[in-house]
Structure 1
Amino acid sequence: MQNWSVWNKSAVTEFILVGFPTNQNFQHFLFFIFFIAYVLTVTGNIVIITIIQADSHLHRPMYFFLGNFAFMQVCYITVTVPKLLLGFLTSINKISIGACFTQCYFFFLLGGIEHFLLAIMAYDRYVAICHPLQYNTIVTSNVCWSLACGCWLGIFLGSLLPVASLVRLSFCGPNVINHYFCDVSPLLKLSCTDTSLLKSYFFSLMWIIIFSCLMFILLSYISIISAIFKIPSTVGRQKVFSTCGSHLTVVIIYFGAVIFMYVRPRESYSFEEDKLISVFYSILTPLLNPFIYCLRNKEIKQALQKCVQSKKSFLAHLHM
Structure 2
Amino acid sequence: MHLVKSDNLIDRGLRAAEYNIFEQNRIWARYSNEKPDVAASLMRTIRALHSRMTDDRELSALSVGAGNEPQFRILQSAFQRGLWLYDIDGAALATIRERQVRQALETVRLVQGDYRRDFQDSSVARQSLETIFDGQRQDLITLHHCLYYSKASEWPCLVRALYDQVLTPTGAIHMVMMSARETAPFTTTWLYNHFAGEYFGSSTDQDLPGLRHELSHNKGLIDCEFISETHKVQFWVDDFDLFMSVVWMILLYPQGHDYSLDQKIEITEFIIEHFWLPQRPLVQTQDYVTLHKSGSGRAPS
TM-score, structure 2 normalization: 0.27
Q: Which protein shows a greater Rg? A: 1
TM-score, structure 1 normalization: 0.26
| Larger RCO of the pair (alpha carbons < 8 Å, separation 6+) | 1
Instruction: Report which of the two has the higher share of helix.
Output: 1
Instruction: Report which of the two has the higher share of strand.
Output: 2
